[in-house]
C-alpha cells in the first residue's frame, strides 16, 4: 500500500488546486487515528441548546415540528454572536459599493447567521440519529435556505457543521450553522469557474462524470460517497447526488432520508476508524441567483473533512496541501470498516 507508492501531485478539477500525496510522511493508512477525539458531551449543565433552556438562546426562526403543543425535535435559531447583521437597513449600503480613497472596497456587513440545533438531547450526536431524523435536519436546512432566497441581496448560503473543539466547535450540543452572504465567496467562484472549464473542454459535468471505481466507499439509491481523486485532507469524503442538480435546496424531500442514511454511515465509519475525530462538513451548492448558463456544470455535493493534520507554513503559502494518505487507500479502509447502523 502506501510504502510502495511514490509521491504524486494531483489536480483537483472541482476546486482548481493541486494536492501533493506523500505517503513517506505517514504511517499506514489503517493506523490513522485522531489524537484529540472530539469527546463532545461535557458541560451539559449550562447548555443553551438543551430542551428547557430555550430562553437562553437568541430568537427562534422555526422549529420542527411547527406545532408548539408537542416537543421540538429541531430548532433553527438566530446566532447570539452573529458574524453578520440581519438589520434590513444595512441592505441599502450594498448597492453599488464604491472603492474608498485608498482603493479599498467595503460593504455593509448585512447577512444572516443561524444555528440549527439538531436534537433536543445533549448527549445525542448527529450520527446517533436515524436516517429519517438526519433527513429532517437536511429538510430544515432546505427550508431555511428557501426563506433566505427571498432576500434579494443574499447571493450565497453556506451550510456547515463543526464537530469537536479542534474543528472549531465552541458548544458540544449537536448543531450546525447557516451563513447567508451578500457576496459570492472566492472559493465558490473558483469552484464554478473550474467546473465550467471542465465542461467547456469535455461537454460534461465533472461530478456527473466521476467514475468512482477504487475511490468508491458506498453507493446508495440516489447518492455515492467517495474519497475524491485529489483529496486535500486524509480521509476526506464527498457525498454526491447521482442526479445533476445545481442547488442543494432543490433536492426532492423523499431523497433526504437516503442522503441522511449515507451521511450517518460515513460519519460512523470515520468515528469508528479514526477514533471519533473532530470533523467539519460543508454543503457546496451554487449561488442563489445562478444564471441558466451556469446550471449545466454546477452540481452540489457535501464534503466531510476529519481534522487529522495541521495546515502550516507551506500550505498557507502555496494553497497546496500535502496529504499523506492516497485516496484509493483511504477509500479501501473506509469501505472495509464495519459499523452498526
Nearer to ligand AMP, 165 or 337 (CB): 165
Residue 185 binds ligand AMP (CB under 6 A): no
Say if CB 222 and CB 242 are below 8 A apart: yes
SS3 state at 118: coil
Rank residues 16 and 158 by Cβ distance to ligand AMP and give the closer one. 158
Residue 170 binds which entry of Zn ion, ligand AMP, none, with Cβ cut-offs from 5 to 8 Å by kind? ligand AMP
Q: Is 57 a residue that touches ligand AMP (CB under 6 A)? A: yes
122 binds, among Zn ion, ligand AMP, none (CB under 5 to 8 A by kind): Zn ion
| 284 in active site | no
Interacting partner of 80 out of ligand AMP, Zn ion, none (Cβ under 5 to 8 A depending on kind) = ligand AMP
Judged by CB under 5 A, the stretch of 39-47, 185-193, 214-222, 277-285 that binds Zn ion is: 39-47
> Phi/psi of residue 221, each to 5°?
-65, -40
Q: Which does 169 bind (CB under 5 to 8 A by kind): ligand AMP, Zn ion, none?
A: ligand AMP
Give which of 218, 229, 230, 308 is closest to 264, Cα–Cα: 218
Task: Pick the catalytic residue from 113, 175, 284, 299.
Answer: 175
Judged by CB under 6 A, the residue of 8, 56, 60, 252 near ligand AMP is 56
Rounded to whole angstroms, the Cα distance separating 172 from 127 reads 14
Binding mask 280-299 for Zn ion (x = CB under 5 A): -------------------x
Report if residue 162 touches ligand AMP, rule: CB under 6 A.
Answer: yes
**47 exposed, middle or buried (CB, 10 Å; 0-12, 13-18, 19+)?**
middle
Residue 274 C-beta: closest distance to ligand AMP, Å: 20
Phi then psi for residue 66, to 5 deg, are -65, -30
% helix / strand / coil in the chain, to the nearest 5?
30, 20, 50
Q: Is 21 helix (H, G, I), strand (E, B) or coil?
A: strand
Q: Residue 188 is inside which H or E element, if any?
A: helix 186-202
User: Candidates 26-34, 83-91, 120-128, 321-329 — which segment interacts with Zn ion by CB under 5 A?
Assistant: 120-128
Q: For the sheet containing 301-306, what is the strand order? A: 60-64, 74-78, 112-117, 175-181, 156-163, 279-284, 301-306, 237-241, 223-226, 216-219
Taking CB under 6 A as the binding criterion, the range among 54-62, 91-99, 211-219, 327-335 that sits at the site for ligand AMP is 54-62
Among residues 38, 116, 137, 169, the one that binds ligand AMP under rule CB under 6 A:
169
Instruction: State the pairing for strand pair 321-323/17-21.
Output: parallel
Active site residues: 175
Binding site for ligand AMP (CB under 6 A): 48, 56-58, 77, 79-81, 115, 162, 168-171, 175, 177
Amino acid at each position: 500500500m502506501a510504502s510502495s507508492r511514490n509521491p504524486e501531485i494531483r489536480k483537483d478539477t472541482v476546486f482548481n488546486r493541486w494536492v501533493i500525496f506523500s505517503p513517506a510522511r505517514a504511517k499506514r493508512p489503517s493506523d490513522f487515528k485522531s489524537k484529540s477525539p472530539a469527546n463532545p458531551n461535557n458541560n451539559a449543565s449550562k447548555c443553551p441548546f438543551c430542551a428547557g433552556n430555550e430562553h437562553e438562546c437568541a430568537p427562534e426562526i422555526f422549529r420542527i415540528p411547527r406545532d408548539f403543543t408537542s416537543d421540538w425535535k429541531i430548532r433553527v435559531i438566530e446566532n447570539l454572536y452573529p458574524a453578520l447583521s440581519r438589520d434590513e437597513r444595512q441592505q441599502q449600503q450594498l448597492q453599488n459599493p464604491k472603492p474608498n480613497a485608498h482603493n479599498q472596497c467595503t460593504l455593509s456587513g448585512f447577512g444572516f447567521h443561524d444555528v440549527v440545533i439538531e436534537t433536543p438531547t445533549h448527549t445525542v450526536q448527529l450520527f446517533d440519529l436515524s436516517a429519517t431524523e438526519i433527513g429532517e435536519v437536511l429538510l430544515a436546512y432546505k427550508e431555511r435556505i428557501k426563506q433566505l432566497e427571498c432576500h434579494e441581496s443574499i447571493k450565497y448560503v453556506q451550510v456547515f457543521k463543526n464537530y469537536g473543539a479542534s474543528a472549531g466547535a465552541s458548544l458540544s450540543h449537536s448543531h450546525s450553522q447557516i451563513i447567508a452572504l451578500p457576496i459570492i465567496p472566492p472559493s465558490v467562484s473558483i469552484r464554478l469557474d473550474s467546473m465550467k472549464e471542465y465542461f467547456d473542454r469535455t461537454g460534461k459535468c465533472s461530478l456527473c462524470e466521476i467514475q468512482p471505481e477504487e475511490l468508491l466507499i458506498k453507493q446508495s439509491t440516489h447518492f455515492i460517497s467517495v474519497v475524491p481523486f485529489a483529496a486535500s485532507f486524509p480521509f476526506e469524503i464527498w457525498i454526491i447526488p447521482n442526479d445533476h442538480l445545481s442547488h442543494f435546496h432543490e433536492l426532492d424531500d423523499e431523497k433526504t432520508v437516503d442522503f441522511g442514511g449515507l451521511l450517518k454511515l460515513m460519519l460512523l465509519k470515520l468515528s469508528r476508524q479514526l477514533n471519533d475525530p473532530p470533523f467539519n462538513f460543508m454543503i457546496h451548492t451554487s449561488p442563489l441567483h445562478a444564471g441558466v448558463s451556469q446550471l449545466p456544470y454546477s452540481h452540489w455535493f457535501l464534503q466531510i473533512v476529519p481534522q487529522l493534520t495541521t495546515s502550516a507554513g507551506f500550505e498557507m503559502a502555496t494553497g497546496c496541501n500535502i496529504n499523506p494518505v492516497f485516496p484509493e487507500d483511504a477509500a479501501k479502509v473506509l469501505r472495509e470498516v464495519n459499523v452498526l447502523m
